[in-house]
Structure 1
Amino acid sequence: MILILGGTGEARQLAEALTEREVRVVSSLAGRVARPRLPVGEVRVGGFGGPDGLARYLRENHIDAVVDATHPFAERIGANAAKAAELTQTPLLRLARPGWQAGPQDVWHWADDLADAARQLPGLGDRVFLTSGRQGLPAFAHLDDLWFLIRCVDPPEPPLPRYHELLLARGPYGVAAERALLDRVDVLVTKDSGGPQTSAKLTAARELGKPVVVVRRPPRPDTETAGTVPEAVEWVLHR
């Protein structure tokens, strides 16, 4: 049986592709989204209790291989997966979509993390379109001189920036709709999530000449890596 750590579109595609090939899979979701899009096949929701708990799950459920298809910024589960795979000698693959690349007309400012992104904002504009996810919003809560249009899937918990408007929405998003939102702001903040699901905002920002603060991906454990679902399917089938 294959354990897919996911919640991403790639994780759902991989579960479907493997199920079609009669490979038994179980997909694990963190449970941070209220109404997640569920993959085909068996699904479990919730954490494992750290690397030791994940290692115990791998042993007790006779997992043959693990595919870490979590979000590029899901640092903790990535580290836990690498440690658990080492403890149990279970093959591990990281399915990581390629990051975004700036073009010649893009006005991008790279940030090392959310705190660095917050430090850069006062020099870039007074009105911010913040699309970095609800868990990182406290990094911007102290910026009382700025106004934020905050978009996330589920309602966030405080602290939040003093002046803000909350937009609850789930991608994918179209370029025209993103352009309408960016017309209301001076600068966009996003994480380097990669993939087409939420890239329309970057196209809209390019067309409008708006600056974008892009948060770099955190380092992940050094493991075998695939950039596409078909590559991950081949890796699994060869196991």
Structure 2
Amino acid sequence: MIMVLAGTKDGRIIAESLYEKGLPVLATTVTEYGRRLFKPGIDIRTGPLDKDTLRRVIAENNVDTVIDATHPFARDISETAIKVCGECKIEYLRYERKKAKEFYTDIIHVKDFDQTITVLEKYQHIFLTIGSKNLDRFAAVNCLPCV
């Protein structure tokens, strides 16, 4: 069984492509919304995966390969998957998307969320690609008023 740690469009495409080729696939997503985006027929596990849960899901589903196609900022699950795959002696593969800087030239790079909040206060319109885990930190950001 191939487990695809999804949660992104890329993860969905990978899982669906493997399924369409007739390979046994178990896709994972944290939210029910993520589950609803998959095509019918694919086995999907919904909910967060800590170390013990991931180990149990791997064992129960006879997983021999994990493809990590999670969001680039989803470090916790990626680190957990690397550890668990090593302990279970199964294959771990990481899907990496192209970096945004290859497509856009006017991106502002920051080192952490605190610096991001400071920088954002100078702008009217912001576009965050951080996922939902830390979104609440940005709800109170005072951006310039729209004119």
User: Quick check: 1:3–1:63 contact (8 Å CA) kept in 2?
Assistant: yes
TM-score (norm 2): 0.81
- Summarize the Cα distance change of 1:13–1:35 in structure 2 as closer, same or farther, 3 Å threshold: closer
Query: For the residues of structure 1 that align with 2:16 and 2:27, how far apart are their CA atoms?
Result: 11
Offset, 1:102: 5.6
The root-mean-square deviation of aligned C-alpha atoms, in Å, is 2.7
User: Quick check: 1:54–1:81 contact (8 Å CA) kept in 2?
Assistant: yes
- 1:190-229 aligned within 5 A: none
**1:89 alignment partner in structure 2:** 89
- 1:17-28 aligned within 5 A: 17-28=17-28
Offset, 1:78: 0.8
**1:80 alignment partner in structure 2:** 80
**1:113 alignment partner in structure 2:** 112
- Aligned-pair identity in percent equals 28
**1:46 alignment partner in structure 2:** 47
Question: Which stretches in structure 2 are left out of the alignment for 5+ residues?
Answer: none
User: Quick check: 1:115–1:140 contact (8 Å CA) kept in 2?
Assistant: no
Letter aligned with residue 53 of structure 1? T
Deviations 1:114-144 (CA, angstroms, capped at 9, x unpaired) = 221111234x43x232434544334334544
Question: Which stretches in structure 1 are left out of the alignment for 5+ residues?
Answer: 149-183, 186-239
- Summarize the Cα distance change of 1:102–1:69 in structure 2 as closer, same or farther, 3 Å threshold: closer
- Summarize the Cα distance change of 1:77–1:101 in structure 2 as closer, same or farther, 3 Å threshold: same
TM-score (norm 1): 0.53
- The structure with more strand, counted as a fraction of residues: 1
Deviations 1:205-226 (CA, angstroms, capped at 9, x unpaired) = xxxxxxxxxxxxxxxxxxxxxx
In the alignment of these two chains, the number of paired residues is 145
**1:13 alignment partner in structure 2:** 13
User: Quick check: 2:67–2:93 contact (8 Å CA) kept in 1?
Assistant: yes
Deviations 1:39-97 (CA, angstroms, capped at 9, x unpaired) = 4511111123x112211221222111111111111111111111110110110101111
- Summarize the Cα distance change of 1:101–1:54 in structure 2 as closer, same or farther, 3 Å threshold: same
Query: For the residues of structure 1 that align with 2:102 and 2:4, how far apart are their CA atoms?
Result: 31
- Summarize the Cα distance change of 1:20–1:36 in structure 2 as closer, same or farther, 3 Å threshold: closer
- The structure with more helix, counted as a fraction of residues: 2
Query: For the residues of structure 2 that align with 1:7 and 1:143, how far apart are their CA atoms?
Result: 26
User: Quick check: 1:7–1:37 contact (8 Å CA) kept in 2?
Assistant: no
User: Quick check: 2:120–2:126 contact (8 Å CA) kept in 1?
Assistant: no
